[in-house]
Amino acid sequence: MARYLAEPDAVGIKFVEVMRALADPVRLRMLLVLADGEYHPCWPEEFLVGVHKSTLSHHFRVLREAGITRTRLEGRNYFVQLRREDLDARFPGLLDAVLGGARELDVTDAPDAADV
Amino acid sequence: MARYLAEPDAVGIKFVEVMRALADPVRLRMLLVLADGEYHPCWPEEFLVGVHKSTLSHHFRVLREAGITRTRLEGRNYFVQLRREDLDARFPGLLDAVLGGARELDVTDAPDAADV
DNA sequence: CAGATCGTTTGACAGTCGTCATACTAGAGC
DNA sequence: GCTCTAGTATGACGACTGTCAAACGATCTG
């Protein structure tokens, strides 16, 4: 029953696309959440604050089409996971480095935390 | 005599800006060239093929303002170098990972190399 | 000093991106 | 079978980006 949404195969992952997918604050935060748990029950209300559902869906699609995530559809539930192995195989060290950088973003993008 | 063009200090380097600056095929190729030699005599005619001078200048500015490169101006000569130390200190492993990924791009972005 | 050169800056333009609102689709539960 | 629900798809809109062209500024050379 579990269907998988369309995604590029490992060798089809293009570096520039990965970089572009990762060059967005919202998607970086999504990446952080995805990195925490393996699979993630999708779209909890507080997955991201202040982002419209359709916008979120759009970002998930960008991540998936870039080859960064895999989306499994079971019945009405969507599960998204990072494609760690594929990513690490194609671009060693990239994912970890990006996750590290994204973590600092979590701090700096709070509006009030700026220029204190 | 050597002036330096404006650039963010090490702590002012924002991760998202770095990612955005690196999410462009032209700039990734520039990064590769910059990674080769420390300093690089600027704008050799064949630095990049098929890119206008002003476009190149624009890309160098993006890289510089993101904190990725440092530009020194000596007389009429511009020298650009990677800010390896600052980058490695702020985002360990990122630069190397990106350089690795950019290297594959060198192969795949040749128009004729695609889908053969 | 005048001319040439090299890179920058500015302006314009087309294409892309992120966002939201709305409509749509497919599974779940009664 | 009908309704409810969760996420997707589409359309629209403003903002940003990459590109080129042309003008500008500063420096070296005669």
CATH code for the domain of A27: 1.10.10.10
Query: Which range of residues forms the domain containing residue A30?
Result: 3-105
The pLDDT score that the predictor gives to residue A45 is 62
Q: Residue B106's pLDDT is what?
A: 63
- Contact (CB, 8 A) for B43 and B56: yes
CB B31 within 8 A of CB B98: yes
Q: Quick one: which H or E segment has residue B81?
A: strand B77-82
Residue A114 placed within a domain = no
On whether residue A49 sits in a domain, the answer given is yes
Under an 8 Å CB criterion, which residues of B touch A? 14-16, 18-20, 22-25, 28, 90-94, 96-98, 100-102, 104-105, 108
Residues A77 and A1 sit within 8 Å (Cβ to Cβ): no
Per the domain annotation, does B113 fall within a domain?
Answer: no
Q: Do the domain assignments include residue B27?
A: yes
Q: Is A110 inside a domain boundary?
A: no
Domain contains B63? yes
Q: Is residue B111 part of a domain?
A: no
Query: Chain B residues with CB inside 8 Å of A89's CB?
Result: none
Total count of domains within chain A? 1
Q: What is the pLDDT of residue B2?
A: 72
pLDDT-above-70 percentage for chain A: 79
Report if CB A61 to strand D is under 7 Å: yes
Q: How large is the average pLDDT for residues A56-71?
A: 95
Which segments of chain B have a pLDDT < 50?
A: 108-116
| pLDDT band per the 50, 70, 90 thresholds, residue A67 | very high
Whether the predicted pLDDT of A109 surpasses 90 = no
- The pLDDT tens digits of the residues spanning A18-56 come to 999 999 999 999 999 899 875 666 666 656 667 888 999
Instruction: Label residue B22 exposed, middle or buried (CB < 10 Å: 0-12, 13-18, 19+).
Output: buried
- CA angle, A85 then A86 then A90, to 5°: 115
C-alpha B55/C-alpha B59 separation (Å) is 6
Q: What residues contact A34, with CB distance under 8 A and at least 6 apart?
A: A40, A69, A80, A81, A82
- For residue A55, which of A13, A25, A19, A83 has the smallest C-alpha distance? A25
Distance (Å) from CA B17 to C1' D15?
A: 17
The reply to whether A115 falls in a domain is no
